[in-house]
Chain A
Amino acid sequence: MNELDKIPVRQEISVADGSAKRSNPLANVFDELVRFCQSRSMFMLHYCTGCGAIELPPAMTSRFDMERLGIQPMVTPRQADILLITGYVSVKTLKRIILTYEQMPSPKYVIGICSCTVNGGMYWQSYATAKVLREYIPVDIYIAGCMPRPEAVISGLRDLMGDIRSGRADNWKRYFQNYDYYLGNQQKLFGEDWQTPTDIIAEAEHYGLMTDQTLGEHTALLQKHQQPLEALEFSLGEKREKIQGENR
């Protein structure tokens, strides 16, 4: 771990130009339509880590009915647009959050609910809690409060809708552009052999989001420790008997 501390973690946030317009006016109309539909149809994956989750059922059900705004719960990261993190993030759950976040198809948005995701909240002195969520994955919107009421949750979601519509909600690009920074913070918590099944660097290349911040000393560490992902071996009875025979 001492080795890791010597590597500095830097992030020079470049302000992304969300209002980049294409020269073809028809293409602009198309982009507007797509952004409008993206803002009006959000599938959310709620990673209910803490007490804030209790405010989501009233927001979804008959009292405040999120489906009015086109927001509905989805259960797998593959289908989701929003990752809701409701409450404190322990080191163990943070691993799962990062795995989930990396599996979501972009454009993807992260919402941190409750003060615990902002600065650790009442878990500030806890040794097992990751305090500032935005150091590990880019967060689009924070809804502060302990806990925020359903009105606040819906108001936050409406803010996100506005951001998507105007093209400002592009924080998912930042994860690719500043991967070294996020990975560095993750490595500080999980150790230098931390790796996920998703190849972020290859994805960044694919989307043309490589910057000089994408690769760095931390990604070099990652590549040093990376083991190729192999599919689990599919074995039927015969094979299992063989293995058991060998073990005997």
Chain B
Amino acid sequence: MPFSELLVELLLMPILAFVIGLVMVLMMRRIGARIQRRVGPPVLQPIYDIIKLYSKETQISHGLMHEIGIIMAVGGYIAAETLLPVPGLDGLADKGGAVTLAYMLMIPALGMALGVGQCANPNGSIGISRALTAMLAYDIPFILVIFGASYVYGTTNLAEMISIQQQQGVSSWGIVQMPILAITALLILPAIMGKHPFEIYVAPSEIATGPMVEMSGKFMGGLFVMQCFQLYTAGVIFTTLFLGGGVYWITFLPKIFLVVAIPMSVAYLFPRYRTEDVLRLMWKWPMLLGLIGLAVVMK
């Protein structure tokens, strides 16, 4: 691939991810509103929010690490987007693969931890310790899922996984080949996206949005941008591993939106789990299912 073409892809992939992520945030808020029998926000609300946050006149910074933390949080996701193959754009997917992607997805949480640490707000510290514990809880089933998928397809290369599923039809899709692992992934999806019932680290009414408690203006704006990437990444990973990815956007987009919509529709019906319950739940059921799924796949 010529250098200039790669450069265009690397630019285009995060931008597309951001735009699709904005629509996903809108969808999430609309689903929440409909479940609560409300009308919900207008179509451009996510953009209004981000522009408003960046246009605040007071930008309260708590030091260099606070700023670097936000850059790491957004940058980690931008790096992850270049590793995620989407129709027509492969980016670095050939060179990266699923394992690199799993590492990249940890960087945002670590960046947040660094940034929040400098804010020195007790609510923020509690929040970030909860967030890292939740990450510990869902990462083990997540790695099991990635391992199982790589075993089935015989590769960790995400682009190859898609081409295998595309060439051999629906019967070779991950969801048919390894349904138990797909259910495991669906169970941990709300935790990856940081939504109910696993949003213990945000917990607005107890610890005042946890890690975000000292974030204002452009820092909060950065986190809003990060949320767009977060939803998009979760949707695309699941689609790539289990739903055959996509050759055309017209078949790819409905899949990723469906994947994000399922946990969202369930999420708003539940209250939160406590941190230790998240850990217990995640290490019991998804992990058990993941191990059974692995055993079935490997026979």
Residues of A within 8 A of B (CB): 33-34, 36-38, 40-41, 61-62, 65, 67-68, 70, 74-76, 78-79, 81, 105-107, 203, 207, 231
Contact = CB atoms under 8 A, between A and B. Distances in A.
Interface in B13-59: 29, 33, 36-42, 44-45, 47-49, 51-52, 55-59
Given A105-B59, A106-B57, A65 B120 contact: no
Interface centre among A70, A79, A203, A231 (most CB of B within 10 A): A79
A67 B38 contact: yes
A70 B45 contact: yes
B38 A105 contact: no
A203 B45 CA distance: 31
Contact of B49 (A41, A203, A231): A41
A117 to B, nearest CB: 24
Contacts of A207: 57
A68 B39 contact: yes
B51 A79 contact: no
B42 A105 contact: no
A62 B36 contact: yes
Interface residues of B, number: 34
Contacts of B209: 74-76, 79
A75 B208 contact: yes
In order of increasing CB-CB distance, the 4 nearest A-B pairs are A105-B58, A78-B216, A37-B51, A41-B48
B205 interface: yes
Given A33-B51, A41-B48, A105 B216 contact: yes
Nearest to B51: A37
A208 to B, nearest CB: 11
Nearest to B202: A75
B45 A62 contact: no
A68 B40 CA distance: 5
A61 B36 contact: yes
Given A41-B48, A65-B39, A105-B56, A231 B120 contact: yes
B215 interface: yes
Given A68-B42, A76-B213, A62 B37 contact: yes
Interface centre among A33, A36, A70, A81 (most CB of B within 10 A): A70
B67 interface: no
B51 A105 contact: no
24 contacts: A33-B51, A40-B42, A40-B48, A40-B52, A41-B51, A62-B36, A65-B38, A65-B39, A68-B42, A70-B41, A70-B42, A76-B209, A78-B60, A78-B214, A79-B209, A79-B212, A79-B215, A79-B216, A105-B57, A105-B60, A105-B216, A107-B56, A203-B58, A207-B57
A207 B39 CA distance: 39
Contacts of A68: 38-42
Contact of A67 (B29, B37, B60, B214): B29
Contacts of B208: 75-76
Given A38-B52, A41-B48, A65-B33, A106 B42 contact: no
Interface in B174-229: 204-205, 208-209, 212-217, 220
Contacts of A75: 204-205, 208-209
A70 B29 contact: no
Given A75-B204, A105-B59, A70 B213 contact: no
Contacts of A41: 45, 48-49, 51-52
A38 B212 CA distance: 20
A65 B42 CA distance: 12
A58 to B, nearest CB: 12
A181 to B, nearest CB: 21
Contacts of A81: 52
Interface centre among B44, B57, B58, B59 (most CB of A within 10 A): B58
Contacts of B55: 34, 37-38
Contacts of A106: 56-58
A105 B52 contact: no
A2 to B, nearest CB: 37
Given A41-B48, A74-B209, A79-B215, 18 more contacts: A34-B51, A37-B47, A37-B52, A40-B42, A41-B52, A62-B38, A67-B39, A68-B39, A70-B48, A75-B209, A76-B214, A79-B212, A79-B216, A79-B220, A105-B60, A106-B58, A107-B56, A231-B120
A107 B216 CA distance: 12
Nearest to A203: B58
Contacts of B56: 105-107
